[in-house]
Chains A and B, each alone.
Chain A
Amino acid sequence: MSPEPVTREFMLGEGSGTGSGQNLQVGVGPAHPAMHGIIRIVTELDGEYIRKADVEIGYLHRAFEKDCEVGGYNNAIPYTDRLNYVSPLINNFAYASAVEKLLGIEITERCKYIRTAMAEISRICDHLTCVGATAMELGAFTVFLYMIKAREFLWELVEDVTGARLTISYGRVGGVKADLPDGFATKVGAAFKQTREVLDEVHRLLTGNRIFMDRMIGIGALSREETIAWGITGPLLRAVGVPYDVRRAHPHWAYDRVEFEIPTQKDGDNFARYLVRMAEMEQSMRIAEQALVAMPGGPVNVDFEGRPIDPASYVDQGKQGKTEGLLLVPIRLSPNLQGQNRPALEQVNVADKRVVMPPKETAYGSIEGLMNHFMLVMEGYGIRPPRGEAYFASEGANGELGFYVISDGTDRPYRVRCRPPCLMPVAALAQMIQGEMIADLVPTFGSVNMIGGELDR
């Protein structure tokens, strides 16, 4: 990778090229333009070549693991959003699945498909951001604008379902917050059509681009054995030819019922990682489309004879003693709580009273529902998995995202450990950039897709 060092005259502080001179220390970061996150790389340069690099992380340590121990099991969901904040849905669902494993419950079929589809949409957002930011740092600013445009389409979908664009807190232990809105499949179709056009355009702009290829091919490569020894999973492992994907190896949610390929490459350099990510986006779109088509449950039906009434009237009716059939009357909630009604909730949440909040009709309309709600919300009660530990791995956008949850039988998690998929490539970064030129640090760091929230937790 680096040619024979040549003896030449240098200014004071620079290496003499023979390796016996004084190398120049250049610090990259922690605040630096590569907008992936804050990290400090202290490089020792011999001319332009990096002889040694020391990577320092921890600048975004926000005590995720300690914060999860403070409240109930569902309390940790917003903290998990902010782990890998470009694909927050995957974090939510992976954590919820780890707790469900501890509880020993199985989520509903519709929920599995919802989780699959939303996780794939999140994965596409992550890859769009990664490829866009990497391209921008190499000078292709247009590609970044196109990718963020595509990401906006997907964020509109996410906002439709969850109510927020980025930090969505959509997953719950035992299900998801609410069902998909009406007409979601059509909107997904339209958004994916636009996204495919963007990806097509980016392919034409970047994949055969001489400058992009020159800057990415052969740079930052790790061999297959090194990649495995460093514990690296995800697109970087698939870029060296190992077709390991947690979605295939340990099928969870609805991944065993959809068809998708696992794109791999051989070289393990930055260009291979870029190609893997681009191919994965197409596969993710395939998965999401199949999941939305195959989703059981169909459209949400309003049941029984009752026209929906608003909650205050519902409560009044109960207080006045007009309770026959009250449990079957649907409550009309305000539009941003859409999907709270019982038929929708039953489709997406486990029918387990210890875990899932009862629908509003039951909570307002019957004493059992009220007590159920109380037992889940009051301090000291709540979701109480039996004592034990569980590790659940899902395929995050960067690799195997694992949650190791230890429960002591109370309503608060005893220990929540997030296995960060991007810690491993960042640990290996020093080895990846050894011998490369300082300018090669930029695309290598971009292809590692370090997300600060996940790295430092």
Chain B
Amino acid sequence: MTGGEILQRLSDRFGVAIVETHQELGDATAVVERGAIVDVLRFCRDAALIGCDVLVDLTAADYLKFPGREDGPRFEVVYHLYSLAHNHRLRLKVRVDEDDAVVPTAVELWPIANWLEREVWDMFGVRFAGHPDLRRLLMYEQFVGHPLRKDYPINRRQPLIGPKA
């Protein structure tokens, strides 16, 4: 199926839960409502002609300083999917606000989501409801803050041992 057809099928099936779709630069992308994301992911994985069996990447972006989107939902959790059988890709996005940064977990669908969601929690502070073990992946446990957020200065030092400067 082409990207456009997949997006059409998603819109037909999930209706308003698919907030918007686009195909800029050839990447089929759909923005999905938070509550429906797990169903959409499951559908994308299991539906016959879509069959995206590989969760390629699960990441997030902080749109705090993005010109034109400073007032909108701050975080966007991005899922990249790929189908081995049909050789097509799909990108799904979920937008969440800063004060309600929770997204349902995709761990039951793909075990790799465990670590990828831990990394998003670590770097952005977006929680994943239902995750079995949501702790930091890359930073040490005593670290305060979420480094990839735009308001975290890159050279703030929080050493475990050694001088602070």
List residues of A whose CB falls within 8 A of some B CB. 57-58, 61, 63, 65-67, 69-70, 101-102, 104, 228-231, 233, 242, 244, 249-250, 387-391, 393, 400, 402, 404, 406, 408-410, 414-415, 417, 419, 423-424, 427-428, 456-457
Asked if residues B112 and A230 are in contact (CB atoms below 8 Å), the reply is yes
Asked if residues B112 and A229 are in contact (CB atoms below 8 Å), the reply is yes
Asked if residues A63 and B154 are in contact (CB atoms below 8 Å), the reply is yes
What B residues does A406 contact at CB under 8 A?
61
Asked if residues B136 and A58 are in contact (CB atoms below 8 Å), the reply is yes
* Residue contacts A-B, CB under 8 angstroms, 14 given: A63-B154, A66-B147, A66-B148, A228-B54, A231-B55, A389-B24, A391-B57, A391-B89, A393-B56, A404-B80, A424-B112, A427-B111, A427-B114, A457-B138
What B residues does A400 contact at CB under 8 A?
56
Min CB–CB distance A249 → chain B (angstroms): 5
Distance, CA A423 to CA B67, complexed state (A): 32
Min CB–CB distance A195 → chain B (angstroms): 32
Q: Which 5 A-B pairs have the closest CB atoms?
A: A58-B138, A231-B112, A61-B138, A419-B57, A427-B115
Asked if residues A102 and B66 are in contact (CB atoms below 8 Å), the reply is no
Contact with A along B64-85 (1 / 0, CB 8 A): 0111000000000010100010
The chain B residue sitting closest to A65, CB to CB, is: B148
Distance, CA A406 to CA B89, complexed state (A): 18
What B residues does A402 contact at CB under 8 A?
56-57, 80
User: A390-B27, A406-B61 in contact; A231/B78 too (CB < 8 A)?
Assistant: no
| Residue B102 is within 8 A (CB to CB) of chain A in the complex | no
Distance, CA A101 to CA B154, complexed state (A): 27
Count of chain A to chain B residue pairs whose CB atoms are closer than 8 Å in the complex = 94
Asked if residues A423 and B115 are in contact (CB atoms below 8 Å), the reply is yes
User: A404-B78, A404-B80 in contact; A417/B110 too (CB < 8 A)?
Assistant: no
Asked if residues A419 and B24 are in contact (CB atoms below 8 Å), the reply is no
Asked if residues A70 and B140 are in contact (CB atoms below 8 Å), the reply is no
Min CB–CB distance A212 → chain B (angstroms): 30
Asked if residues B66 and A414 are in contact (CB atoms below 8 Å), the reply is yes
Contact with A along B101-131 (1 / 0, CB 8 A): 0000000001110111000000100000000
Distance, CA A457 to CA B61, complexed state (A): 16
Distance, CA A428 to CA B91, complexed state (A): 24
Asked if residues A229 and B110 are in contact (CB atoms below 8 Å), the reply is yes
What A residues does B114 contact at CB under 8 A?
427
Min CB–CB distance A60 → chain B (angstroms): 9
| Residue B59 is within 8 A (CB to CB) of chain A in the complex | yes
A sample of 7 more A-B contacts (CB under 8 A), given A63-B154, A104-B25, A391-B27, is A66-B154, A67-B154, A230-B111, A231-B56, A391-B57, A410-B67, A427-B114
Distance, CA A1 to CA B16, complexed state (A): 49
Min CB–CB distance A123 → chain B (angstroms): 20
Distance, CA A223 to CA B19, complexed state (A): 37
Distance, CA A231 to CA B29, complexed state (A): 20
Number of residues of chain B lying within 8 A (CB) of chain A: 36
The chain A residue sitting closest to B62, CB to CB, is: A415
The chain A residue sitting closest to B152, CB to CB, is: A66
What B residues does A70 contact at CB under 8 A?
154
| Residue B17 is within 8 A (CB to CB) of chain A in the complex | no
Distance, CA A250 to CA B114, complexed state (A): 28
| Residue B98 is within 8 A (CB to CB) of chain A in the complex | no
Distance, CA A233 to CA B53, complexed state (A): 12
Distance, CA A58 to CA B123, complexed state (A): 12
Min CB–CB distance A105 → chain B (angstroms): 12
Of A63, A393, A404, which one neighbours B59 at CB under 8 angstroms? A404
What A residues does B61 contact at CB under 8 A?
406, 414-415, 417
Min CB–CB distance B102 → chain A (angstroms): 21
Asked if residues A404 and B57 are in contact (CB atoms below 8 Å), the reply is yes
Min CB–CB distance A1 → chain B (angstroms): 19
Asked if residues B84 and A228 are in contact (CB atoms below 8 Å), the reply is yes
Min CB–CB distance B33 → chain A (angstroms): 20
Distance, CA A408 to CA B137, complexed state (A): 28
Contact with A along B138-162 (1 / 0, CB 8 A): 1110000001100000100000000
| Residue B2 is within 8 A (CB to CB) of chain A in the complex | no
What A residues does B147 contact at CB under 8 A?
63, 66
| Residue B87 is within 8 A (CB to CB) of chain A in the complex | yes
Asked if residues B57 and A417 are in contact (CB atoms below 8 Å), the reply is yes
What A residues does B66 contact at CB under 8 A?
408, 414
Asked if residues A390 and B80 are in contact (CB atoms below 8 Å), the reply is no
Distance, CA A401 to CA B57, complexed state (A): 10
Min CB–CB distance B30 → chain A (angstroms): 13
